Structure 1
Amino acid sequence: MSTALKLTLHQAPAAQGLRWIQLGWQVFRQAPLALSSLLALFLLMAALLQVLGLVGALLGLAALPLVSLAFMLSAHQLLQKRMPSWQVLAQPFKLTRERSHAQLRIGLLYVICTVSVMSLGNWIDGGRFDALQEALAQAGQDSASQKAAEAALAAALADPNFFWAALVRLGGVLLISIPFWHAPALVHWGGQGALQALFSSTLGVWRNKAAFALNGLAWLGLLLAASLALALVAGLFGAPGLLPLLVMPLTLFLASVFYAGLYFMFVDSFRFVAAEVEPAPPVQA
């Protein structure tokens, strides 16, 4: 009788949610430039894809699950004292054809789910959210654009449908993230199919819901503290124009630390254990 490895669910204590942030920071500080550059490269690629219009936006959206896997692979390499590079983005497609196809299916399903949620939100608020985004994007051009943006914001806040649409978008995105959270890693390391990986990811997040909830609350607190710190710095220097210049590097830093912690969320939610495998019966002559 021989042995093989099988993937099993594991339950981590709630306090591990805070530990994930600490572990993400420890990995990030080993290669801050490499990890930040990886995220910056994806953002640049997503911006360039915008030239293709709707098709480019959908391609960028489909790549998001692979970005999370790329950071898991980078963290795994750093723990093995190996420096990651941008090539981790292509590594999921260097295994088997079945796993490559499963990763592509996950990206396609992610696009379908996200677009469905956003479309539902647009239907509820009548497209007011998109109009508000466009108005805010043009707010800095002149005084007329600024007034138009303020009027659009006031109208949106006064519309109850805008609140419900925002709630649908936020809740929908959070619900979508659950099956897709571990799915790329389950395909890559566990050899699962796309649908099986989505199901396993949902079970993994649910079993560790207390740790994930604490992790989310901690990150919310960090984001609020960072926003307050930026506002105080801009106020002390009397330069409100300094705020946009500080937001991008801080966002890149915090997002890189968050993504670096995804690997530890995966290894704490799933474990590979030895499983006995019955030998094949001898072939009769």
Structure 2
Amino acid sequence: MKLNYVAPKEGYTWIRQGIWLFKQNPLGFLMLVFMYVFAAQLAVIIPVIGVFAVLLLTPTLSVGFMTACRQAIQKERIKPSVYIAALKSSPIVRKRILQLGLVYAAMIVLLSFILSLLVDFELLLPLMTSDKPITPEALRQVYLVLFFGAMLYVPVAMLMWFSPVLVAWEDMSVPQALFSSALACWSNKAAFFLYLSIWSAILIAIPLTIGMIFDAINLGQVASYIIAPISMAGLTVMHCSFYATWKACFTDNEVVMPV
């Protein structure tokens, strides 16, 4: 396994490769993303335990989706059971992937605690529990949550981007996988910046624009029927493009994806 250094423009190439990969089995990939979103929504209903379970299993599910990407390239059928591929592996991999889940959960808890010190959540609670108009101060807190949340999550994302696959496929220890993942992201930060900027425009700017257009013509309720499938498809393609980032940043003997 060798770490690669790629040009900034590769960030765009990863998205193109994600689209290509999605086309290999669109129904299979959509099924996997829908299952994850549905399970996450159910988990939120169960206080504390449900959210912790999702965080604990996030690395496992990540390996499952990456395994599905492999299967799609090899023209194999994608099954829901692919999500537990890491847990069906060797005992050492199973132990490490769950340890990685604990690390991820701990980092998210720490991130949430720090965010609570920077933002006044008491102003935000009425927005989620009532239909009262948004005050300027509440809107300011919303922007602060988005800004500080994104900044705090960047190092977490760098540590977790490749570490589940490095643990499951490359037999790395948890500390080694976390370090290698962060190093790969930092070494290719320009490509990742372009990659994430494009996805931000696709998944955030485009739905907001559609919503504003439909609100302007008094069809705001109709917008959700258009935005939801577009967002689901975009989210699925983005998950497929994660595999492209893996193939670009690390060298192995597998099939190379088309440009």
The amino acid of 2:206's aligned partner reads A
Q: Which consecutive residues of structure 1, in runs of 5 or more, have no partner in the other structure?
A: 1-6, 139-144, 274-285
The amino acid of 1:156's aligned partner reads A
The amino acid of 2:29's aligned partner reads L
Shift of 1:230: 4.5
Q: Is the 8 A contact 1:28 1:260 kept in 2?
A: yes
**Alignment match of 1:120 (pick from 93, 114, 118):** 114
Secondary structure of the residue aligned to 2:24 is coil
The amino acid of 1:101's aligned partner reads K
The amino acid of 2:13's aligned partner reads R
Secondary structure of the residue aligned to 2:2 is strand
Shift of 1:252: 1.2
Q: Which consecutive residues of structure 2, in runs of 5 or more, have no partner in the other structure?
A: 254-259
Matches within 5 A, 1:1-285: 7-128=1-122, 131-132=123-124, 134-138=125-129, 145-147=130-132, 149-151=133-135, 154-157=136-139, 166-223=146-203, 224-233=205-214, 235=216, 238-272=218-252
Secondary structure of the residue aligned to 1:189 is helix
**Against the structure 1 CA distance between its residues 21 and 53, is the aligned structure 2 distance closer, same or farther, given a 3 Å change threshold?**
same
The amino acid of 1:97's aligned partner reads P
Alpha-carbon displacement from aligned partner over 1:107-142 (angstroms, at most 9, x marks no partner): 1111111111111111222433xx51x43333xxxx
Q: Is the 8 A contact 1:92 1:100 kept in 2?
A: yes
Q: Is the 8 A contact 1:10 1:271 kept in 2?
A: yes
Q: TM-score, normalised by structure 1?
A: 0.81
Q: TM-score, normalised by structure 2?
A: 0.89
How many residue pairs match? The answer is: 252
Separation (CA, whole Å) in 2 of partners of 1:102 and 1:179: 15
Alpha-carbon displacement from aligned partner over 1:209-234 (angstroms, at most 9, x marks no partner): 11111111111222323432454356
Tell me which protein shows more strand as a share of its residues: 1
Q: Is the 8 A contact 1:99 1:187 kept in 2?
A: yes
Q: Is the 8 A contact 1:50 1:56 kept in 2?
A: yes
The amino acid of 1:222's aligned partner reads I
Shift of 1:64: 2.5
Q: Is the 8 A contact 2:21 2:72 kept in 1?
A: yes
Secondary structure of the residue aligned to 2:86 is helix
User: What is the identity percentage for the equivalent residue pairs of Structure 1 and Structure 2?
Assistant: 23
In our comparison, the structure showing a higher alpha carbon Rg is 1
Cα RMSD (Å) of the superposition?
2.1
